[in-house]
Structure 1
Amino acid sequence: MSESTHDGAVAENAQNSPDDGLSPTELAAKYGLTVSGARPSLAAYVRQLWSRRHFILTFSRAKLHAQYSQAKLGQMWQVMTPLLNAGVYFLIFGLILRAGRGMPITDYIPFLVIGVFVFTFTQSSALSGVRAISGNLGLVRALHFPRASLPISFALQQLQQLLYSMAIVFVFVVSFGNYPRLSWLLVLPVLVLQFVFNVGLSLILARMGAKTPDLAQLMPFVLRTWMYASGVLFSIPLMLKDRENVPTWVADVLMWNPAAVYMDLIRFALIDGYGAEYLPPHVWALAVGWALVVAVLGFVYFWKAEERYGRG
């Protein structure tokens, strides 16, 4: 066969190719090609996260140990920071402003310590969550992994820190005459529910912080306002008891907010004088509802932007 005849046959075969007329999308579907970095399905994303569970746990432990590695007292600051905050709040709000009026001092001190430690758990999870993506862009751009691993690991880091700190909480509670009883076991399910809530909150803030890095500068002011509105420093029912000009719905909103719900459940479990009258109606339904709703919505909200993290 002459060279000209061979070239003509090749050209004819190219013109009669079965791929002629197919768009790039159709060609990719035909040969099983997928977009690099495309968002997986929700079920596949959950499986990916489960397969990275060891990474999530190890990363959270590493961040926890590195947090105070430059300080001479090291990991002691995990306990001392909220404890010092509780001491300052007691001096200003407990002694000077008498925020604990209507409550015996033997109940108010453990009330305040529990509030500070438990709220710090949510506060720290939110602050670390908002920087989870924007503060780890090098890791996000260098490696392929489900990005939800980062905010989840930061929330897990804060849970481990709180568990270490609970020893101090128990010391304060016992020191003021509240001895172990069966209700103390309620602390475990409350902390699990609060952790689930914190994970959802971290996921929401992580996506928002990835798009708007300046949110990290605003969050301390938002969280400080939330702290004052959650009854960390005072009992909401006692504070509003004699204020007839305050609408009922305001008291309900303050008592139903998730930070107040989880704090008050732990106070109810550990402090003998903190009875059910200090809790909102259906408090366990509120605790479970907040955890599930925020966790599910936060997970879906974060997953929807999976392919955009670390780009642009």
Structure 2
Amino acid sequence: MAGVTGLGHDSGLSPGELAAKYGLTVSGKRPSALEYGRQVWGRRHFIMAYSTAKLNALYTTAKLGQIWQVMTPLLNAAVYYLIFGLLLGTKRDIPNFIAYLCTGVFVFAFTQSAVLFGTRAIADNLGLIRALHFPRACMPIASTLMQLQQLLFSMGVLGVIVLGTGEPLTMRWLLLVPVLLLQSLFNTGVAMFMARVGAKTTDLAQLMPFIIRTWMYMSGVFWAVSSITTKAPHWVGLLIEANPALIYISLMRFALLDSYPASSLPQHVWPMAIAWAIVIGVGGYLFFWKAEEEYGRG
């Protein structure tokens, strides 16, 4: 009777007031950005396991299996060497063009794959998202981590190419660590941004390869940046040198290639590399978080 009496006293309250009185919350309510980050960190083991499983499954139907992780960028580099190095003659102005080209192809492929897989991170995992409750940011983060694992595997081959073309092993190779960390943060932010947009506009996945290809042509993968910036108007040169893909490729070349001096780097390259990583990393996280309750619905 006491319980019934207690409920009777609440009969004049609105549903919102009742919920507040008894500590009820909206199902699927978006947590704060800080709490959301804690939830994502709490799923770090799931993110690692999921990204590794996806990477292992990526080439299961191919007879050569994981070898394609290295063969794909190498074949791309061979095609670009034939077209740009031999037919168009861009290698004439670039010392050790083979190592220069392979570094650009491998590093850009990391960003390219992170963007493409990030765009499909929600759409390709709707079954998992609708069945289980977890921070949806785990999906684009896992896709970027998968691409990072693939790059690390490929970096061993790139190191052999660099040393095989006559480049020495120097202390500058230690710069690989901060460069990879900054690029990984940047790629994660881009992947989360594209994941939200791709979840709403599924046709974007069909358009992205064309956008990515254009971005690659503008990022100095197979041409010397100085050959453009010295001839173009000053503001055009600044825009080219501010390209984040070009910045991370340039830093990677500086770390690996003794034939790539500091004078070849874009102006203020380290501050720009850090700024791009923080702005896009944090911005992509917040952009994705704001639509957390919408993923997997409809």
TM over 0.5: yes
Residue aligned with 2:35, SS? helix
1:216-263 per-residue CA deviation (whole Å, 9 max, x = no partner) reads: 01100110000000101111112443xxx6221111111111100000
Aligned-partner Cα distance in 2 for 1:285–1:15: 63
In structure 2, the partner of 1:7 is none
| Residues 86-235 of structure 1: pairs in structure 2 closer than 5 A | 86-104=77-95, 107-235=96-224
1:7-52 per-residue CA deviation (whole Å, 9 max, x = no partner) reads: xxx9xx8799322332211111111111111111112111111110
Q: Which runs of 5+ in 2 are unaligned?
A: none
1:57-86 per-residue CA deviation (whole Å, 9 max, x = no partner) reads: 000000010000010000000000000000
Alpha carbons of 1:15 and 1:151: their partners in 2 closer, same or farther (altered >3 Å)?
Answer: closer
| Residues 80-91 of structure 1: pairs in structure 2 closer than 5 A | 80-91=71-82
1:274 matched to 2:260 = yes
Q: 1:299 aligns with which of 274, 285, 297?
A: 285
Percent of pairs identical after alignment?
58
In structure 1, the partner of 2:26 is 35
The amino acid across from 1:82 in the alignment is P
Aligned-partner Cα distance in 2 for 1:194–1:43: 23
The amino acid across from 1:279 in the alignment is L
Moved more, 109-118 or 268-277: 268-277
In structure 2, the partner of 1:50 is 41
Aligned-partner Cα distance in 2 for 1:155–1:301: 17
Alpha carbons of 1:27 and 1:272: their partners in 2 closer, same or farther (altered >3 Å)?
Answer: same
Aligned-partner Cα distance in 2 for 1:108–1:15: 81
Alpha carbons of 1:22 and 1:275: their partners in 2 closer, same or farther (altered >3 Å)?
Answer: same
Q: 2:276 aligns with which of 290, 297, 301?
A: 290
In structure 1, the partner of 2:239 is 253
The amino acid across from 2:117 in the alignment is S
In structure 1, the partner of 2:227 is 238
Q: 1:20 aligns with which of 11, 27, 38?
A: 11
Aligned-partner Cα distance in 1 for 2:210–2:236: 21
The amino acid across from 2:18 in the alignment is L
Moved over 2 A (4+): 13-18, 238-241
CA shift, 1:307, in A, is 0.4
Aligned-partner Cα distance in 2 for 1:186–1:238: 26
TM (norm. structure 2) is 0.96
Aligned-partner Cα distance in 1 for 2:38–2:229: 48
1:76-112 per-residue CA deviation (whole Å, 9 max, x = no partner) reads: 00000000000000000000001233223xx111000
Alpha carbons of 1:16 and 1:211: their partners in 2 closer, same or farther (altered >3 Å)?
Answer: closer
TM (norm. structure 1) is 0.92
Residue aligned with 1:17, SS? helix
Aligned-partner Cα distance in 1 for 2:224–2:15: 64
Aligned residues: 296
Alignment RMSD, CA only?
1.5
Aligned-partner Cα distance in 2 for 1:97–1:248: 26
Aligned-partner Cα distance in 2 for 1:285–1:239: 22
Q: 2:248 aligns with which of 246, 259, 262?
A: 262
Residue aligned with 1:101, SS? helix
